[in-house]
Amino acid sequence: MKTAFFIAKRYLLSKKSHNAINIVSGISAAGVCVATAALICILSVLNGFNGLIESMFSAFDPDLRITAIEGKSLQTDSVSAIKKLPEIALFAETIEENALVHFANKQQPAKIKGVDTCFAALTSIDSIMFDGEYMVYDGAFERCVAGVGLANKMGFNAHFIDPVRIYAPQRNKQINLLRPDRNFNEAAVFISGIFSVQQSEYDDNYLLVSLSLARELFDYAPHQATAVELKLAPGANTKETKRKIQEIVGENYSIKDRYEQQADFFRIVSIEKWMTFFILSFILLIATFNIIGSLSMLIIEKKEDIEILRAMGATEKLVRRIFLVEGWLISSLGAIIGLIVGLVLCLSQEHFGWLSMGSGYVIEAYPVAVKALDIIIILFTVLLLGFIAAWYPSKKIKLT
């Protein structure tokens, strides 16, 4: 192998008798270089967007959410034992139900979320406030915080004087056909703020109110809720904490971390990322076809050298290995240069934000996040395709 590598390296660096071979070899390496850099840059940008959206979700979603596997609600006192775990920093009850929101002459179905007093500490809701402030009770009046999409549909804004009215169907009473209006619980809340998660699932549907008001609206008993939301202590391991909680509460409850709470979204993002990877890998495969042409011409030029090597006792296997290593060196050279170029572009974008997204977006510049696993996968793919491209012409060599 050392002999094959030494001769292949000399062939790579030496000047050829026909300049076209040098040009084709350079084009081969350049094609691999550009494709490698493109893979690193595009996957890193997709990682950046994924991290950006994850941070937005984390401002609204808790670290862990406990729900009942059967039925809509659960008794929170049945899982209160987990409060004693040192990994649990905050324990909050929440109620989520659908209701009708009315303001002025507009009506809109919305998801009402009743939150505990520690919701601001449980999440980072303050960081995504679009207007006004987060407040669901001021000590005298019930207040609400709405998603920006819902606020736009209803035509209200923070600190409007007129209240928003919420109508929820009564759960435990017989329907009055003569007076349908009496089949609903009603509440009036004043708008204190508007939040923006930049995700329509939340912005267009959610209205946050106090937990006590939600219990009255939806006829929930004390210690009854649709979910228990948890904030973990700093340094707590999410998977290990989930395991401990599951052992305590039993199999009748579902425990989800942030990724599992948005499983569909993150699955789509992952599919999009790897579909992009495969498309660019196909472009890389086309670029490596140049290596076949370069090696074929080099084999023709080095016929005399091959005869000399045969006369010196070189086997057909050794000669094939020389040109196999030669093609692999061309792809490796392109991969290394492409890796350096891609990392430089990504790191410069991350620190200086050269490529701007323009005004009106959540961030000013394209987000970038370079991951070591992505680089390993890209390098493995490039070198594998380069090896395959070099193997095809080298196996055609025959010593006569």
d(CA 11, CA 156): 74
Based on the fold, state whether residues 107 and 219 are members of the same structural domain: yes
Residue 335 falls inside a structural domain: yes
Clarify whether residues 309 and 297 are in a common domain. yes
Is 305 found in the same domain as 181?
Answer: no
Q: Binning pLDDT at 50, 70 and 90, where does residue 124 land?
A: confident
Residue 97 lies in a domain: yes
Provide the pLDDT confidence category of residue 14 given band limits of 50, 70 and 90: low
Output the six-digit token pair for 172.
Answer: 């435990």
Q: Are residues 130 and 106 in the same domain?
A: yes
Q: Which domain holds residue 304?
A: 2-57+265-394
Q: Do 203 and 318 have their domain in common?
A: no
Residue 204 has pLDDT above 80, yes or no: yes
Task: Convert the pLDDT of each residue in 286-297 to its tens digit.
Answer: 877 777 777 677
Q: What is the pLDDT of residue 261?
A: 86
Please indicate, yes or no, whether residues 232 and 305 belong to a single structural domain of this protein: no
pLDDT tens sequence across 28-41: 778 888 889 999 99
Amino acid letter for position 142:
E
Residue 98 pLDDT exceeds 90: yes
Mean pLDDT of all residues in 234-262? 89
The whole-number pLDDT of residue 114 equals 94
Q: What's the total number of domains in the chain?
A: 2
pLDDT at res. 341: 93
Three-state SS for 192?
strand
* 224 domain-assigned: yes
| pLDDT value at residue 254 | 92
Taking 70 as the threshold, does the pLDDT of residue 359 lie above it? no
Q: 324 near 390, Cβ under 8 Å?
A: yes
Among the candidates 261, 286, 311, a domain finishes at: 261
**Whether pLDDT at 44 is above 70:** yes
Q: Are residues 131 and 150 part of one domain?
A: yes
Residue 399 in any domain: the answer is no
Report the sign of the C-alpha dihedral through residues 314, 318, 320, 326, in that order: negative
One domain, residues 137 and 217:
yes
Contacts of residue 148, Cβ cutoff 8 Å, sequence gap at least 6:
130, 194, 195, 196, 203
Question: Which of residues 106 and 6 earns the better pLDDT score?
Answer: 106
Residue 23 forms part of a structural domain? yes
The pLDDT value recorded for residue 163 is: 92
| Residues 253 and 369 occupy one common structural domain | no
Over 80: is that where the pLDDT of 164 sits? yes
Residue with tokens 């052992």: 247
Out of 217, 242, 261, pick the residue that ends a domain. 261
The pLDDT mean for the chain works out to 83
Share of the chain above pLDDT 90, in %: 33
Q: Select the more confidently predicted residue: 320 or 281.
A: 281
Rg over CA atoms, the chain:
32
When pLDDT is averaged across residues 97-114 and rounded to a whole number, the result is: 92
* Cα 375 from Cα 373, distance rounded (Å): 5
Same domain, 176 and 202: yes
Q: Is residue 74 part of a domain?
A: yes
The residue with greater pLDDT, 226 or 400, is 226
Give the residue-averaged pLDDT of 233-259: 89
Is 400 a member of any domain?
Answer: no
- Cα dihedral 160, 361, 365, 40, rounded to 10, equals 130
Pair 249, 278 in one domain: no
Is 216 inside any structural domain?
A: yes
Q: Is the pLDDT of residue 4 over 80?
A: no
Same domain, 344 and 303: yes
Q: Residue 27 above 80 pLDDT?
A: no
Q: Give the pLDDT mean for 264-284.
A: 86
Q: Residue 138 pLDDT > 90, yes or no?
A: no
Q: How far apart are CA 326 and CA 242, in angstroms?
A: 52
Mean pLDDT confidence for 50-57: 78
Mean pLDDT of 195-218: 91
Write down which residue in 245, 261, 277 finishes a domain: 261
